[in-house]
Chain A
Amino acid sequence: MTNQSFSNTGALATFIFRLDRLRMLWWLVGLTFFTLIVPAALANLYSSDQERQAVAETMTNPAMTAMVGPGDLDNYTVAAMTAHQMLLMTAVIAGLMGILLIMRHTRGDEEDGKLELIQALPTGRMAYLHAAVLVQLLLAVVLALVIGFGLAALNIDSVTVAGSLLYGALLGASAFFFAGVAAVFAQLSANTRSATGMSIAVLLGAYLFRAVTDVVNDDLSWLSPFGWVTKAEVYTSNQWHLLLIMIGAALLLFVAAYYLNAIRDLQRGFLPERTGKRTASRLLLHPLGLALRLQRTGLIAWAAGMAVLGVSYGSVLEDMETFFASNEMIQQMLAPEEDLTLAEQFLPTLFVVIAIVAVIPPVMAMNKLRSEERHERLEHLLGRAVSRHQLFGAYLTFALFNGALMMFLATLGLWAAGDASMDEGLSFTTIISSGMVFFPAAFVMIGLAAFLIGFAPKLLTGVWLYILYTFFVLYLGNLLDLHDWYGYITPFGHIPEAPAETITALPLITLSVIAAVLCALGFAGFRRRDID
């Protein structure tokens, strides 16, 4: 009987592989590309030890440690630089890939009813889950090998073969580990959206946890899987046993997922499915209320997440201040701005990261309109006395509100934590305004989503690619000495770097106008087209 549980896994794995091969290829190409260009570019840009140590100097501060983790700053070779600046972030993205890919074929297919069809075929009860896991394993191994050998093939002195292989393996293991996290949540929750949400919350939680503990007490970082990634000291001492810990932990997660899967019924979870209200509240009876209600849980979760992100970054400001106080060179470098504390001058770097994360929930909120359409639920509304204006307007309004709220909460969290911990405190208005200047950029992203929903809904993924592009350019632009031009083609590149720079109105107004035009065009397109 136990053997039968897995029968036909092979055929199913081939099937899943065929369905996902392009999607997996894109992830693989993307991750490999960004991993390989960085050391290649760094080797070109910083050819001497001195130049590299100068970069190390700018990295030696708690804010950077919180963001990218600890690194071998005393011996900042090209390899050390790459591992320090890229490995952790790439591991987070690899983890996200693992979550998204495995969720499609676990709870995703189950909720859609596809799994029911498959289970009615002569396949084992566990076969589909097992097949999905095997495909993830294959992807993780390929990712590890391609990146490992790819890095080694760059032929840069400090980029050793052993280090490269460990680098690749850690990325593969991160993808596999978070696929395991997602596989467990896919058993616990009967709802794909919430299972994905909880998995991503764990991913970001693991990242933020170590952001704080890396600065405050790095022994505690052992509790986060991302702590294992940085503690492996790739290219320095190459701690392979951390890779084994990660793989072991991933296997435990999968065992748990298989067990939970075996003891539950199809289309059920373990989190209680509560009964709800007999009648609708007044709020729900309007398209805007419905949009709000459908996204309520997500809104609350993201709001909490953004506040935590702000607080995490805010809580390292005090360490930065102490650090700067003891470092005369930096004091001289940053001296000119009299009325700002040194930590405040570092804020734009943190705000950019916060702003890019904060743009994700409003874009999701806008895209929800398309997802409702694809689930054939807009028909219910448009078939009643709801106009396309109202519908589009409701989702757009909610997305804008969402965007402003997310940025505000993160900024507020940063201010509160910073103000509480720092001797001098932080100016509320300075901090809040420095954060909120990013709103027009978020508005452009929401506008782009709105435009695509109206005119080319099939290309909606383009927004995410654009956001990803923005992230890479802003994250790596300085380091790779990218031409300013790269920054100019993303709205975030035009935002004044407050509080270090003064806030000027022109770019903000221009961006808002562009965004408004995009929204208007999207509106017009949505009125004119077929609803799928």
Chain B
Amino acid sequence: MEMIRITNLTKKFGSFTALNGVDLTVNGGEVLGFIGPNGSGKTTTIRVLLGILKKTEGDVAVFGKDAWADAVEIHKRIAYVPGDVNLWPNLTGGEVIDLFLSLRGTIDTDKRDQLIEKFHLDPTKKCRTYSKGNRQKVGLIAALASDADLFILDEPTSGLDPLMERLFQEHVNELRAEGKCIFLSSHILSEVEKLCDRVAIIREGEIIESGSLADLRHLTRTHLLVKTKTPLTDLTFFDGVHEVHESENGLSFQVDSEKIDEIIRHISRFGIEKIESAPPKLEDLFMRHYEGKKEVPSGGETDD
């Protein structure tokens, strides 16, 4: 079943085109990772999906209904966490969670209390005194405690500590197991890889790539920085090795995930003194997308 169907969506702010002919479908039971650089239009897409912004052109349907006209009907089955959770400074976290839950339907107090406990949130504190991560937790708890069919999460883990991040990921996996549909915008690729079945990449208001993670395999490369006892040679002759650069710290390059075993075996013959690896950066994915069209300068450093 189709949960979200966006066809040829264009959104203009005055003369500025924030979204340009976006097409996207999300099916029931699917977890979609929505990634793209800052200002590429992720939040704008989500706001149009929620009927908070009005589309300039195109069709946006959620649960088969029009996202603008039937907003309230649709929202009864949606849980949403905005990227920046701005709360009312003089309400307590507990009050806000209850408010959010009740505006969708009924409050499942057990589930709520469990989540508050798990996320270590003090619900009696005024929102004014919450840290960014705590504000984010309020939004997450309200979303996770609700019995929605579709979860729209805009950078939900920004500001969370690694422990909380993991907790969040566990919950998303639970939701997935229950067959819920999740629309997750994120900058953290590893998170997207862990959680999502499908990925859509947006850049400057256009979807430049979308498909299952396996389809996008060619986009996932690992960064390696290697220092060996004897100089490393022949590397450029291998298939699946890209952007080789030499620096004082050693040799840096990128390897396609399926070739990594072969390459490591090769390198180990030269006596490894140091090896660092880093997951592919979002930026690299985009740069690679344009590979061949233009030469992309690369610093060749890994950032670990």
With a 10 A CB-CB cut-off, give which of B50, B72, B128 has the most chain A CB atoms. B72
- Contact: A276 with B103, CB < 8 Å? no
- Contact: A277 with B95, CB < 8 Å? yes
- Contact: B95 with A381, CB < 8 Å? no
- Contact: B100 with A385, CB < 8 Å? no
Also in contact, A530 and B104, with CB within 8 A (given A277-B95, A290-B99): no
Determine the chain B residues whose CB is within 8 A of the CB of A285 once the complex forms. 98-99, 102-103
- Contact: A377 with B88, CB < 8 Å? yes
Determine the chain A residues whose CB is within 8 A of the CB of B99 once the complex forms. 280, 284-285, 290
Is B90's CB within 8 Å of the partner chain A?
A: yes
Within 8 A of B (CB), among A367-405: 375-387
B68 CB → nearest A CB, Å: 10
B93 CB → nearest A CB, Å: 9
With a 10 A CB-CB cut-off, give which of A191, A286, A385, A529 has the most chain B CB atoms. A385
- Contact: A531 with B94, CB < 8 Å? no
Is B278's CB within 8 Å of the partner chain A?
A: no
Is B86's CB within 8 Å of the partner chain A?
A: yes
Chain B 74-111: CB-based contact to A (< 8 A → 1; otherwise 0): 01101010101011111110111111101111000000
Determine the chain A residues whose CB is within 8 A of the CB of B235 once the complex forms. none
Is A275's CB within 8 Å of the partner chain B?
A: yes
- Contact: A293 with B91, CB < 8 Å? yes
A277–B92 Cα distance when bound, in Å, is 7
- Contact: B124 with A531, CB < 8 Å? no
A69–B203 Cα distance when bound, in Å, is 66
Is A528's CB within 8 Å of the partner chain B?
A: yes
- Contact: B103 with A190, CB < 8 Å? no
Contact of B128 among A273, A277, A380, A381 (CB under 8 A): A273
Chain B 117-138: CB-based contact to A (< 8 A → 1; otherwise 0): 0000011111011000000000
Minimum CB distance partner of A191 in chain B: B89
A379–B95 Cα distance when bound, in Å, is 17
Contact of A278 among B78, B84, B86, B123 (CB under 8 A): B123
Determine the chain A residues whose CB is within 8 A of the CB of B124 once the complex forms. 275-278
- Contact: B86 with A276, CB < 8 Å? no
- Contact: B75 with A279, CB < 8 Å? no
Determine the chain B residues whose CB is within 8 A of the CB of A529 once the complex forms. 54
A280 CB → nearest B CB, Å: 4
Also in contact, A385 and B105, with CB within 8 A (given A273-B126, A275-B125, A377-B88): yes
Determine chain A's interface SS by DSSP, over half rule.
Answer: loop
Is B216's CB within 8 Å of the partner chain A?
A: no
A190–B76 Cα distance when bound, in Å, is 36
Chain B 50-71: CB-based contact to A (< 8 A → 1; otherwise 0): 1111100000000000000001
Is A294's CB within 8 Å of the partner chain B?
A: yes
- Contact: A276 with B91, CB < 8 Å? yes
Chain A 488-532: CB-based contact to B (< 8 A → 1; otherwise 0): 000000000000000000000000000000000000000011110
- Contact: B52 with A380, CB < 8 Å? no
- Contact: A280 with B95, CB < 8 Å? yes
- Contact: B103 with A376, CB < 8 Å? no
Determine the chain A residues whose CB is within 8 A of the CB of B89 once the complex forms. 111, 191
Minimum CB distance partner of A382 in chain B: B52
Also in contact, A280 and B78, with CB within 8 A (given A375-B86, A382-B52, A530-B54): no
A530–B87 Cα distance when bound, in Å, is 20
Determine the chain A residues whose CB is within 8 A of the CB of B72 once the complex forms. 385-387
A398–B104 Cα distance when bound, in Å, is 23
Minimum CB distance partner of B125 in chain A: A275
A377–B103 Cα distance when bound, in Å, is 14
Determine the chain A residues whose CB is within 8 A of the CB of B76 once the complex forms. 385
A368 CB → nearest B CB, Å: 11
Determine the chain B residues whose CB is within 8 A of the CB of A382 once the complex forms. 50-52, 71, 75
Contact of B82 among A278, A284, A383 (CB under 8 A): A383
Also in contact, A380 and B126, with CB within 8 A (given A285-B102, A385-B75, A530-B53): no
Also in contact, A376 and B102, with CB within 8 A (given A275-B124, A284-B95, A384-B75): no
A529–B53 Cα distance when bound, in Å, is 7
Determine the chain B residues whose CB is within 8 A of the CB of A530 once the complex forms. 52-54
Chain B 173-186: CB-based contact to A (< 8 A → 1; otherwise 0): 00000000000000
A136 CB → nearest B CB, Å: 26
Q: Please name 6 further chain A to chain B contacts, defined as beta carbons within 8 Å, in addition to the given A276-B94, A280-B99, sorted by A numbering.
A: A278-B124, A280-B94, A297-B90, A384-B104, A528-B54, A531-B52
What 7 A-B pairs come out closest when comparing CB atoms? A280-B98, A276-B92, A285-B102, A384-B103, A280-B95, A383-B80, A275-B124
What residues make up the interface of B, taking CB atoms closer than 8 Å to A? Answer: 47, 50-54, 71-72, 75-76, 78, 80, 82, 84, 86-92, 94-100, 102-105, 122-126, 128-129
Chain A to chain B contacts (Cβ below 8 Å), 28 pairs: A191-B90, A191-B128, A273-B126, A275-B92, A276-B94, A276-B125, A276-B126, A279-B123, A280-B95, A280-B97, A280-B98, A294-B88, A294-B90, A375-B86, A376-B82, A376-B86, A377-B86, A378-B52, A381-B103, A382-B51, A383-B50, A383-B52, A383-B75, A383-B82, A384-B100, A385-B75, A386-B72, A530-B53
